[in-house]
Structures are given as C-alpha cells and as structure tokens.
Amino acid sequence: MKKSKRVLSAMLCAAMAISMFSLTGCAKNEAQTSAPAASAASGSSTSKKVLKVGMECAFAPYNWTQADDSNGAVAISNSSGEYANGYDVMMAKKIADAIGYDLQIVKTEWDGLAPGVSSGKLDAAIAGMSITKERLQTVDFTDVYYKASIYALVKSDSKYASAKGVADLKGATCTSQQNTIWYDMLKQIPDAKIQPAMKNVPALIVALTSGKTEVFVTDKPTAMAATSTNKNLVMLDFSKSGDDFKASDEQVNLGIAVSKSATDLKEAINKALSGINEADRDKIMQDAISKQPMAQ
C-alpha cells in the first residue's frame, strides 16, 4: 500500500512536471510568434523595399552628378562621394515616396540602362528615355512622365542662328547623342553632313561651342539648360513654322523603363505619376534647370 502510494505520488509529480513544462513551452512559443506582430504594430520595423533607379547622372537637366547633397541631391549608390540631382531624381523621389520604397540611385552608362532593367540589376530607369518600339522589345514602360519636343542648338554667331525651319539648316555639319531619337532627326536636315554620335550632352556642347559641329539636335529641356549656361548658344524652335522636325508621339514621350515582368511595380509607378499633373511637372523641370551645377 505504501509502495502504491509512493508510485502514485511519483506519477502525480511526474505528471505535474510534464504539465508545467508543456505550459512553459506553450508560453514561450506564443511569445515567439507574437513578438514580430507586436514589433510591426509598434512601428519598430523600419525595413522598406528599395527602388534601384538607373540614370546616367550626366544628362542635365534630367540628371547630373554633384559633389554634395545640396538642393535635395541623392547619394549615388555605386559611386562614393557623388550625388545625383535633376528632374529625374526629383521625380524618382516623389515616386519612391508615393509607393513606399527607399530610393537608390545607380549611375549607369546610357547603353547599359535598358539591359540593366531587363536583367534585374535595376528596378527602373528614369533617364529621359523615349518610349520607342525598339526599346519595347526588351523593356516595358510606364505612362509618360515627361513630354519633350525637338529643338536645334547653334552658336549665336552662326549662319544658322536665324533659321526659321529645318530646311534653313541645309548643308550643316550636325550631330547628337548616341542611341537617341535626336540623332535620327538629323536625317531630316537637307544635305546634312552628319557626324558620328557623341557619348553625352557635355561632349556635344563642347563640340558646338568649339566649332567642331554647327548644329546639335536635342529636346527642349536640354536646349534650355544648355542656353542658360552658355550665352553664346541659341535654341531654334520650329514648332510654329510649319517646317519642324517630324517626330512621332513615341519619340517625344518619355517613360520610365521597367522589366516586362514587373507588372505590379509598373502599376504602382503609374498610380504615383497620376498624382503629379502637367503643371507640377513643368515646375519640377524649371527647378531642375535652375539648380543644375552650371547654372549656379
């Protein structure tokens, strides 16, 4: 009988120990599973998705490189000590903020932008890129984020400074940036002496001011930026002459390149763009032109 009581007592103690262990284990598991939810609810989790945006950082007023973060510039992720600014950066900041992402600017050569997006190295390219059928073969585009128009730049003392239409540029030596629709526009100039395309806008301005070329074809914002910092240059607007450069909507409509598989991101960016009206976009561009390094 005493042995039976001892056995029973031992069994009861064991059962109680097992029960206490089980309760302790449950409490621990509940604490572990509820902790993340509590953290999220309290807002202690600060991790956000990153929007990796590619641009040349050498295409003022759309984008440029500067030495500090003045005027709202953003650090370039792959170039220590350098910062990006310009229309594209300002728009990228607005978009990233609207869709809840952290912005990361990736300095990328022009020819590497579309491949970077299609390969996934970049989430998007915001770089003054026109929405062409050729580019749509490898990347997708958002809605238009800026509508450009085609202008010609010449020196103020050039024989072409008084040109009223494309026909008046007949016989000019001319060039533009490589892999842009601007370069394609050169073929519309009668008897044009088309020179090899150049790598970027600064090189084009040097070629024009030095007399290496007579006409540089570009878009309105680039022309405005160039003439604001180079008083010996003039921009030629043929839009009201009836003899303007012939450009389709796909050539002057600028879009944000995204991967063909990034449908959710495209939709989110389009929603963000819908909240920025044309007047606001014009103000952002004017702001970019006034802030570009050469304008300071």
Burial class (CB in 10 A: 0-12, 13-18, 19+), 275: exposed
DSSP bridge pairs for 191:
none
pLDDT tens, position by position, 36-82: 333 233 333 457 899 999 999 998 899 999 999 999 999 999 999 99
Rounded mean pLDDT, 14-24 = 40
pLDDT bin (cut points 50, 70, 90) of residue 147 is confident
> Among residues 271, 269, 248, which one has the least CA distance to residue 259?
269
Pairwise pLDDT comparison (13 vs 204), residue with the higher score: 204
**Maximum distance among all alpha carbons in the chain?**
124
DSSP string for residues in 42-66: HT------EEEEEE-S-BTTTBEEE
Residues of the chain with CATH 3.40.190.10: 50-147+251-295, 150-246
Question: What per-residue confidence (pLDDT) applies to 25?
Answer: 41
pLDDT tens, position by position, 187-211: 999 999 999 999 988 999 999 999 9
CATH of domain 50-147+251-295: 3.40.190.10
Question: What is the C-alpha to C-alpha distance for residues 34 and 92, in angstroms, rounded to an integer?
Answer: 36
pLDDT bin (cut points 50, 70, 90) of residue 15 is very low
- Would you say 198 and 177 are in contact if contact means Cβ atoms under 8 Å apart? yes
Question: Which homologous superfamily is 150-246 in?
Answer: Periplasmic binding protein-like II (3.40.190.10)
Name the packing angle between helices 201-209 and 220-229 (round to 10°). 50
Cβ neighbors of 55 (< 8 A, separation 6 or more) are: 62, 63, 84, 88, 89, 105, 106, 107, 108, 113, 125, 126, 127
